[in-house]
Amino acid sequence: MAEPDQPSTARMIDFWLGGEHHFPVDVAAARAFEGAYGPCAVIFRSLRAFLGRAVRSIADAGVDSFLVFGAGVPTRGNVHEVAPEATVLYTDVDPVTIRLGQRILAGSDRAGYGFGDATDIGTIDPAQLHRFVPGWGRRPVGVIFLGLAAFLDDDTLSRTLDELYEVVAPGSFLAVDFDGEELAGHPRALAMMGPAFRMRPPTAFGPLLGRWEPTADGVVPVARWRPEGAPAAAPDACYGGVATKPAA
C-alpha cells in the first residue's frame, strides 16, 4: 500500500493500540497530539476494551450480525475478533482506510469492509449490506457507532441516530460513545482535533439518543461500562453505552 502523506485518526488509534497498520506520518501526528495533551494509549485501549465488552453483550443477547460505522482499522480487538461467530460489515468514508480494511479482511467470509457514510445509510452498497448483515431490517443487528459522534453536530447526530432506529429491526442494539470535556483544559490539543470536533457534557447524551433506550448500565465513562474487574485507570475522556430498539 502506498504510504499516505496525511495522518488519519484511524491509523493513529492503531498506533496507540499497538497495531501494525500505521505509517510514520501517523506516528508523528500521534506524538504531536500527545505533546499537546498527554498519553493517549490508555484512553484508546480503554475505548477498545469497551467496544469488546459492548459487542460481547450484544452477541450474548443473540445478535449475530453487526454493522460498524466510522470503523477505522479492523484489528486489535475489533468486532469480528470479539464476536467470531457473527458476520460483520465495517464501513468508513475514508478511501485509504477502506482499502486498508479490505486488504486486512481479504479472504474472510464473515467480515467485509466498504464505503458507508454514517449520516446517509443509503450510501452503503446493498449487496455488501445483505451479504454481511443478512436479514437487514428484519433481523436484529448490532450497530457500532464509536469515535464518530464527536465529529457530527447535534442536528446531524440526532437525525442520523433516529434514521438508524427507524430502519433496524426491533431487538437491535446500538453501541455509541461521546467525547466529554476532557480536552477543554488542553486548547492546543483541542485545536488539533479540527473544527468539526465536538465536546459534550454528559447531560447532552440522553436527548441525542432520541428513541434509542440505553440499557440499565447507562452512558458512563467507557472504563466504567460493565467493567470486568477494576476499571482501567483512564481519564474520563469518552462516555459510552449500549442502547436498544426494544423487541416488539
Ligand X SMILES: C[S@@+](CC[C@H](N)C(=O)[O-])C[C@H]1O[C@@H](n2cnc3c(N)ncnc32)[C@H](O)[C@@H]1O
Q: Which residues bind ligand X (CB under 6 A)?
A: 9-10, 13, 69-72, 92-94, 97, 117-119, 146-148, 151
- Smallest separation, CB 21 to ligand X (Å): 12
- Smallest separation, CB 197 to ligand X (Å): 10
How far apart (Å, rounded) are the C-alpha atoms in residues 143 and 126? Answer: 16
Show Cβ contacts of residue 212 under 8 Å, excluding neighbours closer than 6 positions: 161, 165, 174, 176, 243, 244, 245
- Candidates 9, 4, 41; CA nearest to 23 is 4
Q: Pick the closer one to ligand X by CB: 19 or 171.
A: 19
The H or E element spanning position 242 is: strand 238-244
- Smallest separation, CB 248 to ligand X (Å): 29
Q: Which residue has the cell 466498504?
A: 114
Q: Pick the closer one to ligand X by CB: 9 or 65.
A: 9
Q: Pick the closer one to ligand X by CB: 147 or 241.
A: 147
- Smallest separation, CB 13 to ligand X (Å): 4
- Smallest separation, CB 143 to ligand X (Å): 12
Q: Pick the closer one to ligand X by CB: 26 or 92.
A: 92
Q: Which residue has the cell 436498544?
A: 244
The three three-digit cell numbers of residue 63, written as one number:
445478535
Q: Pick the closer one to ligand X by CB: 93 or 169.
A: 93
Q: Look at residue 25 and give its three-state secondary structure.
A: helix
**Residues 179/194, Cβ–Cβ less than 8 Å:** no
**Residues 26/7, Cβ–Cβ less than 8 Å:** yes
